[in-house]
């Protein structure tokens, strides 16, 4: 690692920020959290209690976990001696412009500054900053203390040193960073997710399938496949010995003729989909659904890690 990360500032303690807080503390960092929410202490305590089993399952030492997390009175206090800052504020350009201007002003000169932005590229909110070289996107998937991927997306003025530092940092806290070399709104993961979600909404609007049955289609086919291989490798294997070239020349032709749907934006049509999803899932408390999701994700991650470990032992 080219840098040592001992202290992290987490700016914004919503769902993502609380998850980052637990992950960073689980890896031994001192974490200072800033958020104007009046229930900050309670929210952090609840999150740490809920996430501790997840961290333990990942082999992390959670003794003294809460002692490594501190509440900051404001952003200035949070970043005062931070080695890395993870921002998790609202998805608004004006907000991020103002916040990062303050972060650059208040944080130490060596501090790496990362944004969890889901769609806004770093260049959009750093155009007026002189010190934009250490700012870039570190976009996770929810919840980041469980899902390994972090999309590392530099802005036009981000330095290569900052990109490497981000890769080193996320690797050190057990994540899988992927550097994306061209900025595009939504980055890669959310654009792929958005494409699938658009077609899912269209199919429900057309009465082809219910929300819960569509979820069953994904979790019993594509979800299992994509947890082990991505779309390109999946297609390459689907082509048999002829690989991706074979499937592109044969099945690929018929698939390219599919006209994907465009969901209706009529408020009544959108409301019908919302009501259908609520009918399927809203009767179960959110916490129960989230716990079930996390148990399943941990089981998948654990199984994949066992396979990786066994393969490593065979090779050595």
Strands annotated E in the chain = 7-11, 30-34, 69-71, 84-87, 112-115, 135-140, 149-154, 176-179
For 115, counting Cβ atoms within 10 Å of its Cβ (0-12 exposed, 13-18 middle, 19+ buried), the class is buried
Checking DSSP bridges between strand 135-140 and strand 112-115, what pairing results, if any?
parallel
Strand partners of residue 150: 140, 177
Residue 50 CA to residue 54 CA, distance in Å, equals 8
CB count within 10 Å of CB 255 equals 11
Detail the DSSP E strand segments found in 141-199.
Answer: 149-154, 176-179
Question: In this structure, what token pair is assigned to residue 307?
Answer: 């396979």
Assess whether 98 carries a catalytic annotation.
Answer: no
| Residue 255, φ and ψ in degrees, nearest 5 | -70, -35
Residues in CB range of 67: below 8 A, 6 or more apart = none
Buried b (16+ CB within 10 A) or exposed e, 147-181: beebbbbbbebbeeebbebbbbbbeebebebbebe
Choosing from 151, 156, 275, 291, the catalytic residue is: 151
Sequence-ordered alpha helix ranges (H) in 58-188: 75-79, 93-106, 122-126, 160-172
**Is the N-terminal amide bond of 208 cis, ω within 30° of 0?**
no
Active-site annotation, residues: 151
């Amino acid at each position: 690692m080219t840098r040592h990360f001992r202290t992290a500032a987490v700016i914004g303690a919503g769902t993502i920020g609380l998850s980052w807080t637990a992950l960073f503390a689980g890896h031994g960092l001192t974490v200072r959290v800033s958020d104007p929410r009046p229930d900050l202490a309670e929210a952090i305590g609840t999150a740490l209690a809920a996430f501790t089993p997840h961290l333990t399952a990942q082999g992390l030492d959670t003794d003294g976990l809460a002692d490594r997390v501190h509440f900051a009175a404001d952003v200035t206090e949070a970043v005062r001696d931070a080695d890395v800052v993870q921002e998790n504020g609202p998805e608004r350009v004006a907000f991020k412009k103002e916040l990062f201007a303050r972060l650059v002003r208040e944080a130490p000169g060596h501090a790496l500054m990362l944004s969890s932005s889901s769609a806004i590229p770093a260049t959009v909110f750093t155009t007026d900053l002189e010190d934009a070289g250490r700012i870039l996107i570190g976009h996770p998937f929810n919840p980041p203390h469980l899902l390994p991927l972090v999309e590392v997306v530099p802005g036009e003025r981000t330095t290569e040193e900052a990109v490497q530092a981000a890769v080193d940092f996320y690797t050190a806290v057990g994540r899988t960073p992927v550097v994306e070399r061209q900025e595009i709104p939504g980055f890669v993961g959310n654009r792929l997710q958005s494409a699938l979600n658009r077609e899912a909404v269209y199919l429900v609007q057309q009465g082809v399938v219910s929300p819960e049955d569509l979820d069953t289609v994904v979790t019993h086919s594509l979800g299992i496949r994509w947890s082990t291989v991505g779309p390109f490798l999946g297609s390459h294997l689907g082509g048999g010995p002829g690989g991706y070239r074979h499937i592109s020349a044969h099945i690929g032709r018929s698939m390219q003729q599919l006209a994907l749907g465009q969901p209706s934006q009529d408020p009544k049509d959108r409301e019908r989909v919302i009501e259908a999803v609520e009918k399927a899932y809203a009767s179960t408390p959110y916490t129960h659904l989230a716990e079930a999701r996390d148990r399943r994700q941990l089981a998948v991650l654990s199984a994949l890690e066992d396979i990786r470990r066994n393969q490593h032992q065979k090779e050595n």
